[in-house]
Chain A
Amino acid sequence: MEVLDIIKPENQVFCKTKLMTDCPLSYCPGCGHGTAHNLTMEVIDEMGISEDTIGVAPVGCSVLAYDFMNIDMTQAAHGRAPAVATAIARTWPEKYVFTYQGDGDLAAIGTAETIHACNRGENIVIIFVNNGIYGMTGGQMAPTTLEGMKSSTSPYGRDIETMGAPLKITELIANLPGVNFVSRQSVHTHKHARKAKKAIRKAFENIKMKKGLSFVEIVSNCNSGWKMTPLESNIWMEKNMFPYFPLGDIKVDGKLK
């Protein structure tokens, strides 16, 4: 078999996600953002809604999501993406509107916007990538930084006596009646990525059925910020992040699990 035969479409097992642009990702090698982007774009592509989807990019590592996701996107101020998405969904109720946010953006500076968009049950999807650190600014303590975890602003480890416990914002918003679907997933193995994609798919299908707000958290790594190799960071994540942020569905069809 010639090389050209192998890459014929009918012979391809995997291909580049169609809705991702050719722009090289700005993420560190080993980071989960790329996979989370891919999965989101695959869902939008497979549902055939790319021409009716409007995405809202955050401030943080994924601020440049609009360079990579080949759909209409607007970039929000730090933490304000749920407010921006609210207005788009309210004025274009037939569109698919989603935000893509990190933990500093969604669970610190944007806590009010997050809680109130969830409480109003806006018909949008929030994709929340939680890697327990501020990556873009070089590894500072985030609201989700684990107890004892070192960062450049918690150099001796997070002290919960002075800094409070890591914020479980996902559990918090799951209790709000306006929120229909809440799931926590990860993307560090194929098996996990498939489950995450299923959750993202359900979230976007909920928009179609006007079920209210769907929230998918992706617990991810930040090998650069955590000062580990990609493999070490994934092992550390499984060992330390997953016990505190357990994976699985938290709320389905408006009912807490």
Chain B
Amino acid sequence: MSELKLMKGNEALAEATIRAGADAYFGYPITPQTEIIEYLMTEQPEKRTGMVVLQAESELAAINMVYGAASTGKKVMTSSSSPGISLKLEGISYMAGAELPGVIVNVVRGGPGLGTIQPSQADYFQSVKGGGHGDYKLYVLAPSSVQEMSDFVEDAFDIAFKYRAPVLILSDGLIGQMMEKVYLKDQKPRLTNEEVIEKYGDWAVTGKKGRERNIITSLDLQSEKMEARVRRLMKKYEKMEKEDMRFEKTLCDDADYLIVAYGSSARISQKAVELGRKKGIKIGLLRPITLFPYPKQPLFELANQVKGILSVELNAGQMVEDVRLAVEHKIPVAHFGRTGGIIHTPEEILEALEQKIIK
């Protein structure tokens, strides 16, 4: 059974976090994602499930609170928007290094710097190419609807605990702020402390009752040990690529041209595909759902079929690099994007495809 509601993307994500049985949320206000903490504070999940909600003194403190609770095996989330995520990168790198599960949400706004509070996808590089220091990757889920803002919360926690790794939900100001109908999942119970110890007692710091002590750290001063740690991380990322890469194909079977877009850009590109097909241009859409692992193989295969690809993004050209790498320059690949918080129209996208690819 699920409940149907009309909600903002940010609110749906917040409600889904409670329903996923999360133990804690730590956040700091920043537009355009503040509804997440506002919703949680209003909803008082401590009364519903015992979930802790705390407004931290900074994004730095919030991500380190996530690090702390995650050290103990708890299911914990923080959210922010672009400038705040830059601050959180220190903690995210530590979480990756210390192999801690946790969910980070970025409702992206335009940058660099203070940029704009309007929607953007300019944090693609930051999300999938490291961002923080060191050899690590984030598993990145990109929702393109309010429904996915809700659904991806549980998926993100599942992946975080499957791999003991931080997971990023990369949304944007458009998906976060818009209202749509959403089917909310039923409440999952929070694990009791005993269940947490039972499930994660082999690594989590919960007090060393009946076992040797556990240590959570990202530090290895011996080079061989540190290299072994990095190799362990790389193995995880390989496994993610094999088992947990996600994408969606729309009208690709007979397509002559392909649009690649994720998140809000994918929503708008759907309409561009419709407009193109009305004009007799066979366009398909490939939507990466995970930005890491990236759908390299499906793109590589489509490069044998289509004549060219347009990467549609709300930025100055970031994901297009990964599209080019995936198709190994076999066919023309171009980028179309708007910045500064401007959302591209379906007409603009179709025009860009015609001018840059079809010619």
Contacts and interface: CB of A to CB of B under 8 A. Distances in A.
Given A54-B206, A72-B205, A83-B56, A91 B64 contact: no
Q: Which of A53, A54, A83, A87 has the most CB of B within 10 A?
A: A87
A52 B209 contact: yes
B219 A75 contact: yes
Given A75-B217, A88-B71, A116-B57, A83 B64 contact: yes
Contacts of A73: 205, 213, 215-216
B208 interface: yes
B72 A92 contact: yes
A112 B58 contact: yes
A63 interface: yes
Given A84-B71, A86-B54, A71 B213 contact: yes
Contacts of B68: 56, 74, 76, 83-88
A80 interface: yes
Interface string A48-64: 00111110110000011
Nearest to A76: B64
Interface residues of B, number: 39
Contact of B26 (A56, A66, A87): A87
A72 B65 contact: no
B76 A87 contact: yes
Contact of A90 (B24, B206, B210, B219): B24
Interface size range of chain A in the complex: 20 to 34
Contact of B69 (A75, A80, A87): A87
Q: Which of A64, A71, A115 has the most CB of B within 10 A?
A: A71
Given A63-B219, A71-B213, A77-B91, A91 B207 contact: no
A72 B208 contact: yes
B52 A90 contact: yes
A201 B110 CA distance: 51
B123 interface: no
Contacts of A211: none
Contacts of A57: 217
A80 B24 contact: no
A112 B61 contact: yes
B204 to A, nearest CB: 8
A80 B215 CA distance: 17
Q: Which of B62, B65, B76 has the most CB of A within 10 A?
A: B65
B98 interface: yes
B154 interface: no
B193 interface: yes
A66 B217 contact: yes
Nearest to A72: B205
A75 B68 CA distance: 9
A43 B254 CA distance: 73
B61 to A, nearest CB: 4
B98 to A, nearest CB: 7
Given A51-B210, A87-B76, 17 more contacts: A52-B209, A54-B207, A56-B68, A63-B219, A66-B215, A73-B215, A73-B216, A74-B98, A75-B218, A77-B90, A83-B61, A85-B68, A87-B69, A90-B69, A91-B24, A91-B72, A92-B193
25 contacts: A50-B208, A57-B217, A72-B215, A73-B205, A74-B72, A74-B216, A75-B216, A75-B217, A75-B218, A77-B64, A77-B94, A83-B60, A83-B62, A84-B65, A84-B71, A86-B54, A86-B61, A86-B68, A87-B52, A87-B76, A88-B68, A88-B72, A91-B23, A91-B69, A113-B57
